[in-house]
């Protein structure tokens, strides 16, 4: 099994849904988990839930779309734990609207969080890894929507597609610094963010029928894959898109 004992893993947006599932996964493998998110009450609740699961976790208040906030969070995290070994860039939002009715403000809001935020967090991690000189790992969280598109989700789809390109580029550029960068491509996962989709019976029925596993995933089904992607012993594994979607993209 993956052993992350002595490692510090940052999970952005790790206080809920898929992020919380991945935070628990790396924590169960022995890592010290640090959640970066701007919602203090949800951070506290997540840290308490992780503690109940036997995971060592803390939270740092961070608006991942704000450069100064990200740099401050990295400084606080490294000051507290000495180093960061893995950055899981997961924080993201969605804003559904017909394309012709999508406002520029909503477009910018989604891209600012999903694309700009991931850029800022992975850049902060890259700078830390390069300066430290001991390598590291990054996980860029995209979505299967990057492969097939989605009506009413222009901004979200564009941002998640951009993250695939960013992850590939980082894998190439940072390899000489022994930094591994892989892209996690999850399918349909039960989270608070998509409650409205699951309440649409026709949509839920259609997506479930198209998924060979015949169901949506639960966040805890990402425990092992998160730990795997953070594993420092996998020194030759980089630039890979790891799809975890119950077979959705091949059916």
Catalogue the active-site residues: 156
- Joined tokens for residue 208: 């479930």
Query: Is 194 within 8 Å of 219 (Cβ atoms)?
Result: no
- Joined tokens for residue 114: 């999903």
Query: Is 90 within 8 Å of 12 (Cβ atoms)?
Result: yes
Alpha helices (H) in 29-144, listed in sequence order: 40-52, 67-81, 104-111, 117-132
138 φ, ψ (degrees, to nearest 5):
-130, 145
Burial category of 193 from C-beta neighbours within 10 Å (exposed 0-12, middle 13-18, buried 19 and up): middle
Host H or E run for residue 229: helix 223-230
């Amino acid at each position: 099994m993956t052993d992350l004992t002595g490692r510090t893993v940052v999970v952005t947006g790790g206080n809920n849904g898929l992020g919380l599932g991945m935070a628990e996964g790396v924590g169960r493998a022995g890592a010290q988990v640090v959640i970066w998110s701007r919602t203090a009450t949800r951070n506290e609740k997540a840290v308490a839930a992780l503690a109940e699961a036997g995971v060592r976790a803390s939270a740092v208040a961070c608006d991942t779309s704000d450069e100064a906030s990200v740099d401050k969070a990295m400084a606080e995290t490294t000051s507290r734990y000495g180093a960061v070994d893995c950055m899981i860039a997961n924080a993201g939002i969605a804003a559904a609207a017909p394309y012709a009715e999508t406002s520029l403000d909503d477009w910018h809001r989604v891209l600012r969080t999903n694309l700009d935020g991931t850029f800022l967090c992975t850049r902060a991690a890259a700078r830390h890894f390069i300066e430290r000189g001991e390598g590291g790992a990054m996980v860029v969280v995209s979505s299967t929507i990057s492969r097939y598109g989605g009506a009413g989700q222009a901004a979200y789809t564009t941002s998640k597609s951009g993250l695939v390109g960013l992850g590939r580029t980082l894998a190439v550029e940072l390899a000489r610094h022994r930094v591994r960068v892989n892209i996690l491509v999850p399918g349909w996962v039960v989270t608070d963010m998509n409650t409205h989709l699951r309440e649409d019976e026709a949509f839920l029925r259609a997506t479930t029928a198209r998924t060979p596993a015949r169901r949506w995933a639960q966040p805890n089904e990402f425990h092992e894959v998160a730990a795997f992607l953070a594993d420092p012993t996998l020194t030759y594994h980089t630039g890979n898109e790891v799809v975890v979607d119950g077979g959705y993209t091949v059916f």
